[in-house]
Chain A
């Protein structure tokens, strides 16, 4: 039996309601720690240990859930930088957004997103999707050990 994994997830989401629902969905799937940042700039600061996070001494997250539409620096910019930097390139990035626009999907994949998930508005909502996605990316998918 394998060691139970503990995974660190970085959630980049500006809408607190969406964030809450997502985090609710992610619980119980696997032992995890979720760091929630509210916009792109914060995410970049966090990832590259700059700004208010420059003294951070924690491991890189094993998974990034990335919203696209955010103020200041939006998800596309974050994705670009994350995938450009060798320190962060290998982290799986799941784009979670309300946009169904083909252009957004294309661009995200072009920039190297590992997955693209649309936040649903139907019955079970985000939580369910987050749960499914989380299960896959945390359990099924192999990620790098930190």
Chain B
């Protein structure tokens, strides 16, 4: 960080400041001092020379007066004590050199031939002086002194000291500045470091560390405060920006939805074959209604305002007015059916007017908008349907009546058949029995056989008639569906049959039979059939066995009757249930062949199925299913 700024960093600035101020002070002081010193030097030297000249002069008066150059010379030679004196000379009053002294003996000084005027002269690093020797106001001679006067050297000397001092002070400044920067540039750098971090990390929770309690400390405080404020502002801005973005997005969505809805409405309008209706709040047409004009053929003059009323069928105008009056007093959407004049078909057509009120933002009713849909076709269709229905019902009623009559006829027919047919059959059987009783003994074997045939056939005919009657009656009877206890039913039926059965004792196994829903008397007939069959066809076995059981699944119960009798040829199992179909000889196993057909009919009416399987000689199993009630 410090290096980045290089020479422009505060530290260096401080350093420079220090140096500069030091230097300034130094230079100014030095300048003044040096100048002073040099002045002093000159003055000192000149004063000294003056004094020496004076002394010399006075000392040399006698010499001069007595014209003793040797004494004068000795006097002058005293000046060798002073190394600065280059030469000293004494001139007479007439200006001739009386005595002279040169410091450097090797190279004696060239004395000026004549003394100059009194005074100091300076040239070439030398200062010389002429001073008149005056005794009692008589000029006796002139003293000439010449000294080294190296101003430059002195100046250099001074400057050297200055340089040394300057260096020292530089060092001192460096030290001081290093010490100072802890107090000045360090806090400042820390603040600027913090600032940079805040900027690079966008983290306004950072704070600069306050280490001093001065202007910089104040700066740090202010900086921190600013950061805090920035942080708050930034949060606020971000929040409001998000809210703004959100709003913008919503606005956009709404706009899109609106556009979409508008598009949809537009296409809907064009797609609908509905005549648009736009009326003012009192239900009158205030604007042009091209759709209305197209439909009714009314012109603008005719339909404007409430003129549209006359386009409706006169009988409907009344309830139209009422509906509008109601709607205007309490604005709400409504619909009504009426007949409207259609110009195209030149007649009134059935229509449905649907209209809804449109309110402005203040909740005031502005206008009514709606549509008129032509329901004439539908109306015509409905009428047709109604008519057809009526016709249909009538036809149904007629047909039902026919069927009922037919049914009744059939019923009375089969009733009378059964009754009337039975009577002669009874007579045949009965009288044949009588004959047998009265005269039977007188018949020979053949006669008895013939009579036996008559009797048995009569009996058979009786059974046939009974079965046929039951079979036909079944179709006419209404079934009474009730819960049936199958086990009890089978047990009672079997015991009844068993009592009548002649033959070897039968081993009867009854499994668990589930209850079911059905017509008990009809189901009893089924069991009678199946069980009597089982008994009949197993009667020739040594150990007849009959097994009754049931298997249930979710949809149905399957009941079965199994016997170990003679069975039947499975190739003929389709014929088993045909009316009068028999697969066995009547002589072996008597029967009318109606029983199974009857059972099938009953089971079918219960929505079940019946079938059988067999292995000839080993027995047969008859199955029937009854659907489960849910």
* Interface set of A (CB-CB < 8 Å, partner B): 15, 17-18, 20-21, 24, 69, 98-101, 119-127
Does the CB pair A121–B455 fall under 8 Å? Answer: no
Query: Given that A17-B430, A127-B434 are known contacts, is A122 also in contact with B463, CB under 8 Å in the complex?
Result: yes
- For the complex, is B54 an interface residue (Cβ under 8 Å from A)? no
A122 to B463 alpha-carbon distance, docked (Å): 8
Does the CB pair B419–A125 fall under 8 Å? Answer: no
Complex interface: chain B residues within 8 A of A119 (CB): 422, 426
Q: Which residue of B lies closest to A127 (CB)?
A: B430
Partner of A121 from the list B415, B434, B462 (CB cut-off 8 Å) is B462
A78 to B433 alpha-carbon distance, docked (Å): 31
Q: Which residue of B lies closest to A25 (CB)?
A: B430
What is the total of A-B residue contacts with beta carbons within 8 Å?
A: 64
The size of the chain B interface, using a CB distance under 8 A, is 23
Does the CB pair A121–B459 fall under 8 Å? Answer: yes
Complex interface: chain A residues within 8 A of B431 (CB): 17, 20-21
A128 to B11 alpha-carbon distance, docked (Å): 149
Does the CB pair B426–A17 fall under 8 Å? Answer: yes
Query: Given that A21-B434, A99-B419, A101-B415 are known contacts, is A123 also in contact with B455, CB under 8 Å in the complex?
Result: yes
A122 to B434 alpha-carbon distance, docked (Å): 13
Does the CB pair A121–B419 fall under 8 Å? Answer: no
* Interface set of B (CB-CB < 8 Å, partner A): 415, 418-419, 422-427, 429-431, 433-434, 455-456, 458-459, 461-463, 465-466
Q: Which of the listed residues A119, A123, A125 has the most CB atoms from chain B within 10 Å of its own CB?
A: A125
Query: Given that A121-B459, A122-B462, A123-B459 are known contacts, is A69 also in contact with B419, CB under 8 Å in the complex?
Result: yes
Partner of A21 from the list B422, B426, B458, B461 (CB cut-off 8 Å) is B426
Complex interface: chain B residues within 8 A of A125 (CB): 426, 429-430, 433
Q: Which residue of B lies closest to A104 (CB)?
A: B415
Does the CB pair A21–B430 fall under 8 Å? Answer: yes
Query: Given that A15-B423, A21-B426, A98-B423 are known contacts, is A121 also in contact with B433, CB under 8 Å in the complex?
Result: no
A100 to B430 alpha-carbon distance, docked (Å): 19
A24 to B459 alpha-carbon distance, docked (Å): 19
A17 to B428 alpha-carbon distance, docked (Å): 9
Q: Which residue of A lies closest to B438 (CB)?
A: A24
Q: Which residue of B lies closest to A124 (CB)?
A: B433
A80 to B423 alpha-carbon distance, docked (Å): 25
Complex interface: chain B residues within 8 A of A127 (CB): 430, 433-434
List 14 A-B pairs, Cβ < 8 Å.
Answer: A18-B427, A21-B426, A98-B418, A98-B419, A98-B422, A99-B415, A99-B418, A119-B422, A121-B426, A121-B461, A122-B429, A122-B463, A125-B430, A125-B433
**B482 CB → nearest A CB, Å:** 16
